[in-house]
Amino acid sequence: MSALNRIISFNKNSSFNRRTLAIGSPRPNHNNRFGCVSLRFQVLVIVVSVLSFFVAVGGYMYVLPSLSRAIFNGQVFLSELNNGSVRECDVFDGSWVLVKDHPLYNATECPFVEPGFDCLGNGRSDRDYLRWRWKPRSCQIPRFDVRGVLEMLRSKRVVFVGDSMSRTQWESLICMLMAGVEDKSSVYEVNQNNITKRIRFLGVRFSAFNLTIEFFRSVFLVQQGKMPRHAPKRVKSTLLLDKLDDISDQWVSSDILIFNTGHWWVPSKLFDMGCFFQVGRSLKLGMSIPAAFRIALETWASWVEREINKNRTRIFFRTFEPSHWSDLTRRICNVTQYPTLETNGRDQSLFSDTILEVVQNVTIPINVLHVTSMSAFRSDAHVGNWSDNPSIQDCSHWCLPGVPDMWNEIILSQLFTESEIPFQQIESLG
């Protein structure tokens, strides 16, 4: 179970405060049967009452600072109060709220943002989409503190694996962290590569912190094979569902490993391109995409259990994030000014459901970033016409800064709750 799921709000402990403050003076019991209480007894009652009051105040003043130290952005981490016995907080059950002091960086000034994702730099005039932050219903996500995060990630290797959505999140994290680096030249791509869509590996090093943040392009997670012998002419290639990507050995020795897949599991990227499914030597021409997706995820899960050192590597798997195309042809993209009030079914995904089901059976702890529902409201945050090629609309990818920053804040706050390094700057949401 994730650390963020082990948080409850301070409000749920209000009964504790009420019990502490409920100490008062005992009322004298006037009983006509025995007559009036003697003066000596009355004085004794008054003295006891006064002493009780000061004991109560002293106890409250003693408890309050201890309790205050446990408050973390309006939350209480109960490990200090009852030996780690905690309640659950579903961080993905919440809503988007307007906040100040956003965004966390300027995409135009960050050399690792693809030009196509810098919406402001490409002419978007409204900035309202930058002012929203996710607020869980039962707890709060600590505000991002770049210096604290950089220290926590010192000498670490962070690896993103997936499609272009994963690359967007990778770019987001790098730019978030660069805001805390004084010497920007100390942050560089290890192979001097430009950030492009097709390259299979990109790695950025924060030399002052001995930190690398890497991206591996693996859109299906499993291997892509050539056309089998004696296959029908319509078969040009296959997905080897029982074999993980041949670059997977490069993911193993990481400290934080973040996966995603799903956006390429569509007929236009598979069947229309002559790509079909294969298990072993058997070609599965009639296999559906959902069935193949599940087998591929089970292959991934077996690899995790076999190859990953759970004592070193923290694994995250991000669920499917919805697009907001206005029609099925994916040609019309109406980006709104504000988040939508209705998800119109976009909060549901068969791919996300499959991820949750497969991960549930993995013996190694895996943190699922279930972003499907929270992202479904953000029809305002897509690239739209504000890419480096305005003739091509885009209601799939996200502007940077934007929604992927929030995914990273969730990951980082989750890692922080399991480290000994506190957030240095804490602000509560209004």
pLDDT at 34: 40
Residue 357 belongs to a domain = yes
The more confidently predicted of residues 213 and 74 is 213
pLDDT at 30: 42
Residues 66 and 166 in one domain: no
Residues 182 and 278 in one domain: yes
Residue 426 belongs to a domain = no
Q: What value does the mean pLDDT take over residues 283-293?
A: 97
Residue 424 belongs to a domain = no
The least confident of 74-83, 124-133, 236-245, 392-401 is: 74-83
Residue 204 belongs to a domain = yes
Q: What value does the mean pLDDT take over residues 351-380?
A: 96
Residues 38 and 104 in one domain: no
Is pLDDT above 90 for 100? no
Residues 192 and 305 in one domain: yes
Is pLDDT above 90 for 419? no
**Mean of per-residue pLDDT scores for the chain:** 81
Residue 429 belongs to a domain = no
Residues 71 and 95 in one domain: no
Is pLDDT above 80 for 287? yes
Is pLDDT above 50 for 59? no
Q: Using CA atoms, how far apart are residues 216 and 124, in angstroms rounded to an integer?
A: 30
Q: Which domain holds residue 53?
A: 4-81
Neighbours of 229 (CB within 10 A): 6
pLDDT at 60: 38
Query: Residues 269-284: pLDDT tens digits?
Result: 999 999 999 999 999 9
Last residue of a domain, one of 35, 60, 81: 81
pLDDT at 70: 29
pLDDT at 44: 54
The more confidently predicted of residues 4 and 285 is 285
Is pLDDT above 90 for 413? no
The more confidently predicted of residues 142 and 237 is 237
Q: Using CA atoms, how far apart are residues 115 and 181, in angstroms rounded to an integer?
A: 22
pLDDT at 22: 32
pLDDT at 198: 83
Residue 86 belongs to a domain = no
Q: What value does the mean pLDDT take over residues 351-358?
A: 97
Q: Provide the greatest CA pair distance for the chain.
A: 110
Last residue of a domain, one of 81, 110, 142: 81
The least confident of 2-11, 37-46, 105-114, 315-324 is: 2-11
Q: Which residues pair with 312 in a beta bridge?
A: none
pLDDT at 414: 86
Residue 232 belongs to a domain = yes
Q: Using CA atoms, how far apart are residues 412 and 174, in angstroms rounded to an integer?
A: 13
pLDDT at 239: 98
From the list 281, 318, 338, 50, the residue with the least C-alpha distance to 166 is 318
pLDDT at 3: 39
pLDDT at 40: 53
Residues 8 and 108 in one domain: no
Q: What value does the mean pLDDT take over residues 336-342?
A: 93
- Rg of the chain's alpha carbons, rounded to an integer? 27
Last residue of a domain, one of 48, 81, 114: 81
Is pLDDT above 90 for 102? no
pLDDT at 81: 25
Query: Residues 163-194: pLDDT tens digits?
Result: 999 999 999 999 999 999 999 999 999 999 98
pLDDT at 86: 23
pTM summary value: 0.78
Say if CB 356 and CB 366 are below 8 A apart: no
Q: What is the 3-state secondary structure (H, E, C) of the chain?
A: CCCHHHCEEHHHHHHHHHHHHCCCCCCCCCCCCCCCCCHHHHHHHHHHHHHHHHHHHHHHHHHHHHHHHHECCCEECCHHHHCCCCCCCCCCCEEEEECCCCCCCCHHHCCCCCHHHCCCCCCCCCCHHHCEEEEECCCCCCCCCHHHHHHHCCCCEEEEEECHHHHHHHHHHHHHHHCCCCCHHHEEECCCCCCCCCCCEEEEEEHHHCEEEEEEECCCCEEEEECCCCCCCCCCEEEEEEEECCCHHHCCCCCEEEECCCCCCCCCCCHHHCEEEEECCEEECCCCHHHHHHHHHHHHHHHHHHHCCCCCCEEEEECCCCCCCCCCCCCCCCCCCCCCCCCCCCCCCHHHHHHHHHHHCCCCCEEEECCHHHHHCCCCCEEECCCCCCCCCEEEEECCCCHHHHHHHHHHHHHHHCCCCCCCCCCCCC
Residues 202 and 343 in one domain: yes
Residues 367 and 385 in one domain: yes
Residues 341 and 412 in one domain: yes
Q: What value does the mean pLDDT take over residues 75-88?
A: 30
Q: What value does the mean pLDDT take over residues 83-87?
A: 27
From residue 310, alpha-carbon distances to 304, 378, 412, 413 in Å are: 9, 34, 18, 20
Task: Report percent pLDDT > 70 for the chain.
Answer: 76
Say if CB 401 and CB 36 are below 8 A apart: no
How many domains does the chain fold into? 2
The more confidently predicted of residues 81 and 255 is 255
pLDDT at 47: 53
Residues 43 and 158 in one domain: no
Residue 422 belongs to a domain = no
Residues 119 and 54 in one domain: no
Residues 131 and 22 in one domain: no
Q: Using CA atoms, how far apart are residues 215 and 171, in angstroms rounded to an integer?
A: 9
Query: Residues 297-307: pLDDT tens digits?
Result: 999 999 999 99
The more confidently predicted of residues 192 and 69 is 192
Query: Residues 139-165: pLDDT tens digits?
Result: 889 888 999 999 999 999 999 999 999
From the list 292, 236, 234, the residue with the least C-alpha distance to 262 is 292
Q: What value does the mean pLDDT take over residues 225-235?
A: 91
